[in-house]
Structure 1
Amino acid sequence: MQQPTKAFQVLATVTDYTRFCGLPAPAHPLLTLIDLAGARHAPPPAPLPPVMQQLYTVWLKRDFKGRLHYGHQAYDFSEGVLGFVAPGQVFSVDETLDISELSGWMLVFHPDLLRKYPLGQKITSYGFFSYQVHEALHISAQEEALLDGLLATLRGEYERPIDAFSQDVLVSQIELLLSYANRFYHRQFLTRRAPAHDLLSRFEALLAAYFATEGPRPLPTVQHFADALHVSPAYLSDLLRSLTGQNTQQHIHHVLIERAKLLLRSTSLTVNETAFRLGFEYPQYFSRLFKSKTGLTPAAYRFSAH
């Protein structure tokens, strides 16, 4: 996955996607299923421009050559790799990638397919759609077989003539697929506890160092720590929640409030000066956040602490 550039091609429809990949037109206007073993023989687009797709993509890839990077570490995987791309993300094709033995499947669907269904809103809550490619889900052979069975059912419906019930059935199968993916993602956090705890330790050290620095500085953001740890914001929040029960923003707020308490107890700074010292642009926001976390205003806390 590369950084977005100004010169990129937009794939707005499923037909745009299949045409870009040199594949036959889709059987359904809002969805297509691609056999990667067959697609690897399709001629690649030339030249290979960066692409922005306005589509959802779920893929299961097998037989990668080489290693995949997961956070700061690299692993060899013989099992399938499950990945997700949401609308608006930019990607590019690596011309040096060897896909001569690639197999698996890819499900591509337009957001309009889900528009009138609850899944249209629910899908935005799945953090894995905003993960970077090196944070893909590595699944077991048993999990892979389960997903292959789901795809076989979905493919059977996809290949039927479209009728009044086609969209209902397709959406229900996609929802089931994503529910299993969500289960597998949470399982992955548990099975990779050593790398996860290492990331947690480094995050806590960065957070402590940020607030220990003297002088004016902006409020820290989730993006700031995700960039420092070389993971996506969604992945960092999901991992922290799996280990501690709190997401990244909650961790930031906890340390921020503890630092505020220390300043209110041990310095003569006014509430406004305390807010500015912590990085707040507006002291009113600091006071509201402090009260929401402690039940007291900063002034009332200072009075109670003496």
Structure 2
Amino acid sequence: MKPATPPFRLLASVSDFTDHFGFPAPAHPLLTVIDLAQHRHPPVVGPALRQLYIIALKKNLQGRIQYGHRAYDFNEGVLAFYAPGQLCENNESIDVSELSGWMLVFHPDLLHKYPLGRKIAGYGFFSYQVHEALHLSEREEQMLESVVDVLRREHAQPIDAFSQDVLVAQLDVLLNYANRFYHRQFHTRRPAEHDLLTRFEELLRGYFAEEKEQPLPTVQYFADALHVSPAYLSDMLRTLTGQNTQQHIHQVLIEKAKVLLLGTSQSINETAYQLGFEYPQYFTRLFKSKTGLTPAAFRLSGQ
């Protein structure tokens, strides 16, 4: 019996990617830079699993782009990031007739012997959803274009002992810029982000206002309720408040625990179960790590 055909095309190398989408063959085995204005192909329909990092600046998008719960008109560049292992599928309705910009595709092996190979895992924007893309000002776009231009020229050169060092160094610069620009975006798009922050705080406090026993809420729970990715929610909260999503959850949980410990006669175990802990010892451990006291000692102190 023949093995079942996978429901998607696996793109395991840079050449797999360029071949699948009809782009020019890569000049370097681990990285390529594609000029989207020069290669406007009709979208390839069907899912593809890409084991590659992709950074794409797409310009001249028509219509409105969804950003969280709101829609905006964007004439600037829209920068998106994709990590290896993401399954993507194009839609037949995509119009590429006016598309311009660039796409940077590189294999994880390019980074393996460099600090960036570890550092890149800390960039949450590789896990953001499409509607959480980075919207660039003209000046920011020009700054990134200057870095991509170096990558474009370097990757086309004959490979020598310094090629990979130069490519990775430029990628590091580009990602540092992107990190800076995302933090700017969290601040400058204040109406949208502060609305998101307000709704998160309302959801969080509403969850712990319930008097019944219920599971501990997760970061994923709030991200799903707010229609954003967990990474985006945590990065936005950290930028605006100094605390990520999990820290906010713990903060409100400890506040509720203090009220129950001082305002009710229920046991420590009963308090833990009401707060959603399956094992009371985990509640005791978390409470002590946040307050310096065990729940029992806190109750006795009457603080």
Q: TM-score, normalised by structure 1?
A: 0.95
SS at match of 1:27: coil
Report if aligned partners of 1:21, 1:43 keep a CA contact under 8 Å in 2.
no
Could you tell me how far 1:39 is from its partner in structure 2? 2.0
Q: Does 1:294 align with 2:263?
A: no
Distance apart, 1:61 and its partner CA? 0.8
The answer for the alignment partner of 2:25 in structure 1 is 25
Q: Does 1:265 align with 2:271?
A: no
How far the C-alpha of 1:44 sits from its partner, in A, is 4.1
Q: Say which of 102, 107, 114 aligns to 1:105.
A: 102
Give the match for residue 3 of structure 1: none
Residues 117-132 of structure 1 aligned to structure 2 (within 5 Å): 117-132=114-129
The alpha-carbon deviation at position 242 of structure 1 amounts to: 1.2
Query: 2:152 aligned with 1:155, yes or no?
Result: yes
Q: Which whole-Å CA distance do the structure 1 matches of 2:210 and 2:43 have between them? A: 51
Structure 1 residue 155, shift from structure 2 partner? 0.9
Distance, in Å, in 1 between the alignment partners of 2:289 and 2:188 is 35
Per the alignment, in what secondary structure is the counterpart of residue 219 of structure 1?
A: coil
CA shift, 1:90, in A, is 1.4
* 3-state DSSP of counterpart to 2:37: helix
Q: What's the CA shift string for 1:249-300, capped at 9, x where partnerless?
A: 0000000000011110011111111111100011111100000000000000
Report sequence identity in percent.
68
User: Which residue is 2:48 aligned to?
Assistant: 51
- Dislocated runs of 4+, deviation >4 Å: none
1:134 aligns to 2:131 (yes or no):
yes
**RMSD of Structure 2 on Structure 1 (CA):** 1.1
1:39 aligns with 2:5: no
Separation in 1, partners of 2:144, 2:201: 36
Aligned mates of 2:80, 2:259 — CA distance in 1: 44
Q: Which runs of 5+ in 2 are unaligned?
A: 1-5
2:280 aligned residue: 283
Aligned length: 298
Is the contact between residue 9 and residue 49 of structure 2 (CA under 8 Å) also seen in structure 1? yes
Q: Would you say the 8 A contact 1:33–1:105 is kept in 2?
A: yes
**Counterparts of residues 85-96 of structure 1 (less than 5 Å):** 85-96=82-93
Q: Residues 110-162 of structure 1, C-alpha deviation per residue, up to 9 Å, x if partnerless?
A: 00000000000000101111100100000011111111111111111111000
The corresponding residue for 2:186 is 189
The answer (yes or no) to whether the contact 2:15–2:26 under 8 Å persists in 1 is yes
Does the CA-based 8 Å contact 2:78-2:134 persist in structure 1?
yes
Q: Which amino acid aligns with 2:16?
A: D
Q: CA deviation at 1:24?
A: 2.3
CA separation of 1:184/1:263 partners in 2, compared to 1, >3 Å: closer, same or farther?
A: same
Q: Secondary structure at the match of 1:37?
A: coil
Give the gaps of 5 or more residues in structure 1. 1-5
Q: CA deviation at 1:37?
A: 0.9
CA distance in 1, matches of 2:58, 2:42: 19
Letter in 2 for 1:274: T
The answer as to whether partners of 1:64 and 1:101 remain within 8 angstroms in 2 is: yes
Distance 2:36 2:132 in 1: 20
Q: How does 1:44-83 map to 2 (within 5 A)?
A: 44-45=43-44, 48-83=45-80
Shift, 1:8, TM fit: 2.1
Q: Please state whether the residue corresponding to 1:186 is helix, strand or coil.
A: helix
Match of 1:180 in 2: 177
* Letter of the structure 2 residue corresponding to residue 65 of structure 1: Q
Q: Distance in 2 between matches of 1:21 and 1:114?
A: 24
Residues 50 and 84 in structure 2, CA contact (< 8 A), matched pair in contact too:
yes
Separation of aligned partners in 2, 1:303 and 1:219: 26
- CA contact 2:127–2:231 (8 Å) conserved in 1: yes
Partners of 1:302 and 1:274 in 2: CA distance: 12
Whichever residue aligns with residue 236 of structure 2, its letter is L
Conservation of the 8 A alpha-carbon contact between 1:265 and 1:302 = yes
Q: What CA distance in whole angstroms lies between the structure 2 residues aligned with 1:86 and 1:11?
A: 13
Cα offsets for 1:221-252 (capped at 9, x unmatched): 00000000000111111111111110100000
Secondary structure of 1:106's aligned partner: strand
Q: TM-score, normalised by structure 2?
A: 0.96
